[in-house]
Structure 1
Amino acid sequence: MDRAAIYGNVRSAGKGNLGIPFLLLLVLGMVTLPMPPFLLDTLFTFNIALSIVVLLVCVYAMRPLDFAVFPTILLITTLMRLALNVASTRIVLLHGHEGGDAAGKVIEAFGEVVIGGNYVVGLVVFLILVIINFVVVTKGAGRISEVSARFTLDAMPGKQMAIDADLNAGLISQDDAKLRRQEVTQEADFYGSMDGASKFVRGDAVAGILILVINILGGLGIGMMQHDLSFDLAARYYSLLTIGDGLVAQIPSLLLSTAAAIMVTRVNSSQDMGKQVISQLFGSPKALAVAAGILFIMGSLPGMPHVAFLSLAIAAGVGAYFIQQRNVAAEAQAAEEAPQQPKPSEADQDIKELDWDDVMPVDMIGLEVGYRLIPMVDKLQGGQLLSRIKGVRKKLSQDLGFLVPSVHIRDNLDLMPGAYRITLMGVSVGESEVYPDRELAINPGQVFGALKGIEVKDPAFGLDAVWIEQSQKEQAQTLGYTVVDAGTVVATHLNQILQAHSHELMGHDEVQKLLDLLAKTSPKLVEELIPGRLSVSTLLKVLQNLLMEQVPVRDFRTITEALAEAVARTQDPQGLTAAVRISLSRMIVQNIVGSDDDLPVITLDPQLEQLLLGSVQQGESGDGLVIEPTMAERLQSSLADVAQQQEIAGRASILLVAAPIRPLLAKFVRYGENQISVLSYQEIPENKRVTIIATVGGQGQAGV
């Protein structure tokens, strides 16, 4: 090990790594080794001073988490106090026969001065302190700690959802969200620790009573049998020392119990407790004025102590008067500092209270969940849905070529407990119901048995599925089912919807971001094309056309180069889209059939194709493709039959048509919900071998 590492270890040890072992040795030493009275006085004084400091820190703390180490300090001080009790008990029993100062000056002072040397009075005072500590303060603080811990833990999922919702909405940054999550976790840990720490003080009070009884009985026995003291003298010596020892221990215990009660009963505020009490207790003069009146009436009654009651009545009345004058002065100063504005009439007061902040924009992508699905989005409860949605966004963004907007998640009590709803621009585009405590067994098309459960349709692909118990998972996989959990079902459904509506997620901001990124590598290309030759709106329409037909825009440079060449011929978005598709032909075909050199295609009957070409030429004025309804129905049926045969054979369905009718036939096929890709002759790469596997005729027949 080098010198720097050695020095680092020495510095870390010096900075407090040895503090806990040293404290442990100190406690063990006080329990096992005899201590001189002077050292015992020092430790008792330190214990009282530490209790006062802890109480004042609790009073001046702005919020409970500002003193989050309080439960640990409570444990340490309790252990130290019990160790001091053991050490003082040893000295009292060994040297109590020598007199009042045998156990040190502190115990003697509490035994002689505080209780006047009367052990009966001392015993009564000690018992009163124990009752106050054990029955009143500690019991109340323990109950509040228990309830606070329970409510804090119950509120954690809602707080986590609120943080995630603010983060998804862009109201806070990642660092702010991380900080708020840490505060939520620390708050739960603090109140959970306080729930247990309150038991330390309560146990300390019980131990104080037992130690008192043991010391008195043991001292009487030792004094009378070993040191030949009389009963009165032994009772006087050992009782005063024992009661003094008990009072020295109970006063710090009462201070710490009070500190714990203050800590769990206060609320978060920007003021310390003293300012809160003054501002809230004496903020209104009415309470003091009424109290002054009551005290004056009570002091005027015959037989009552007139001086005490009347003097307090006068003091309360004077206080109420000064508070009233202070409030009036503060209101006058606030009125002077406020800008002079015309007083609105009652008719337009409601209108002027409104602001643009009251008009909330709709979420681009939203996910609403029922209350039973809240644990799925809470990481503290093991929910994995947030991370899966993040993975869906990342994968889609990489595949499509632009950043998919964040998903705003919120709970919706109007939904069924296990239901969820996916929205785009505030409009529902998909919803279903899941069972968080079950698994979804999806039938991929061929299984070897049936399962017992809740039969449904897979929301993402519409396949037959069954919600089964988690214990049936292995059985379902053995029978050939695909088994996924509820979080995967929601994430997959969201992925399918976002992919199908990806063109709606592309906007002007996304286009401008793509242009800014391209300008870093190809500044001349962007400068020449935008905005001189092509507007951002037209570019957006071209990109949306590509995404609508599941063509990613990852290769943005090729897209812009193709547009720079084609923009001189046409400004029509459909024509520009066709030019871009030709430049992206290799990527389009690869996404359909992979790296296979053979390209199996479906073609139209030549007569039908000529008919459609003539219809397009006649509809150039704006009518578009016109197909007779019966012919359209037969064509859809024929395409569906061929697509089904290709799917059974495990091959993609590609319809190859002339370029002028490709966009309109692509829309026609998309309306029919057939999984068919429509390509033009110009979009076939040169390295692909085209094989015509079927020809669709106008009569609804597919010929090979």
Structure 2
Amino acid sequence: MISALNERIEKFSRFSDIGIAVLVVGILAMIIIPLPAPILDFMLAVNISLSLIILLLTLFTKTVLEFSTFPTLLLVTTMFGLALNISSTRLILTQGNAGQMIETFGNFVAGNNFIVGAVIFIIIILVNMMVVTSGSGRVSEVSARFTLDAMPGKQMSIDADMNAGLITEAQAKKRRKDLERETQFFGAMDGASKFVKGNAIAGIIITLINLIGGILIFSLQQGMGMMEALDHFGKLTIGDGLVSQVPSLMVSVASGILVTRSGSQTGFGSSLSGELFGNAKVIKIAAGVLLLFAIVPGMPTIPFLLIGLIAFAAGYLIDENEKAKLNQEKDTEIKEAAAQRTENEKVQEESITAFQVDPISIEIGYGLIPLADERQDSNLTSQIPAIRRQCAQEMGILLNPIRIRDNLQLAPNDYVIKIKGNEVAQGSLYLDKFLIIDPGESTFEFNGIPAKEPSFGLDAMWIDESDRDMADIKGYTVVDPLTVLITHLKETITQHSFELLGRQEVKQLFEGIKEKYSVVIDELIPDILRLGEVQKVLQSLLKEHIPINDLVTILETLADYGNTTKDTEVLTEYVRQALKRTIVKPHLDQNGVLHVVTLHPDLEERISQSTRKSTAGSIPALQPNEITNFFDNLTYSNNQLDSHGIPHVLLASPKIRPAVRNLLAFNFPDLPILSLNEVPNDIPIETQGMIET
């Protein structure tokens, strides 16, 4: 909402030149057109508010060039004050009343004796003319002379800095332009001070006219008594004079402040809108003062309250805009500094990373180098980004770049896949051949090189390209060498994804969702769990091939139970129960039925009683013969179901599921082990067997 309002303000500021032109014409029209008393009160409040802002702005201005429109603004405010003075004179002489503002000023200052008010009025005029205006005019005159005399030396200094390479040509042009503007500013201020002096003289004349004219008109024509007319119009005259001279005095003080501490490159309205209302601190202070005016007894509450609230809202919007710009500038500075550090430390970084292992890498023999040739339409380098995207979508992990190296120590057709510098998979490829996979028959009808499909260990054979079409006709699965390697790489990443998920990768995952789900992240880390504890839970899920792309559910579950326990094994079980539909879905048959193999209650009881906690998790301390029987019965059951093509899982009670998983992880790495709490109530379960010992 704030940004939308700022955009509207910027849109309106484009028409500031037109607005200022209309304002100036309106000021001149006020001299001729009579103003009702309520409108005059409002205009007088605007005049005081504007003068106050100008005064405060000069206090926060660092250089005169930040307020280069001040001489012209001084003329406009002087004309505005005189127009209001003339309007109030018209009301005094015609109606004997000039509104609430003038009457309040007269009564407040003069009280029961308008002579005292007259004395104060005269003193204010004398201070304005003889002290403030005269002094600021003299300072402007001397400053203009000194600035003009020093201009050749300053220009030579600018040229010397540019020749020495200390500044650019653009910076030199800007400094020359600023020097010229500064000289023009002080010259203009020397003449502008005469506006204030003339305004004071005009104020004295208008005051005398109000006093004498009002007494004569209302005593001779309206039948008012002489003393009554003198008392009434004396207070009105003093109030009118003070209302007009107090803003004039503030502007005079502002001019003195500005010149004791400059042509504009844009239109006056554009410069004024940017400079006068560009400091949120000033606007907020002025808003506070105006709101105080609104509660002063006798003051027109509505005008000051309205203007004060508007000023406060404007100050708040400007402040938010300034903060946004400041943050943007800081971000730019940080990015530039980071880029500079990267450039300066490039050699050092290369030397550091030279001996650091890669999270995942592929090493190929020299015979497979053509696979990495980027000039080919289909190559290993172009396929790797697709693998990284696929892993992010299917498993929810962000993979680091996969490095490809040639290794002359390997056989020409061999390759190895390494995780953190350690070989985890290897295979052989023949670029001039195709791999056919056994469709279920015991022998191949082709002459080729027998092999094993590297991803799943199926019987396969490398055949010549001339036999490809025939193999396809006979129903063999035909795969090109690049696809074999890509599939093997993808499967290896899936099997070892938990090893690739470090703390840095977890932090990157959090940063990716923090913009939308910052609440759960801020609640969880570090108040409830540390980053490393969350990492262990995510690794446990990946170790059992459970995707972590529903990261929000995982984090919310950890936040719910993290205060109860810090045991990552227990927390993992809670998360698994929250992800039950995600876990069960891959193991359902075509009819949506979950086929399970269960454990005998006696076996579950023995496992529960013998389970011990260790650094590696819960482990059941069964007797060797019990473990052997358990494994044999489970192997027999798996083989029976696999031969009939029935997908199945091992179903255990929630209490012992982690222990059973740890026991079977090495011998049955691909067997899904679920607990009853991880099966949704609407999923039908069909028992296919029971394991006994």
Does 1 or 2 have the higher relative contact order (CA < 8 Å, sep 6+)? Answer: 2
| TM-score band, normalised by shorter chain | 0.3 to 0.5
Greater Rg, structure 1 or structure 2? 2
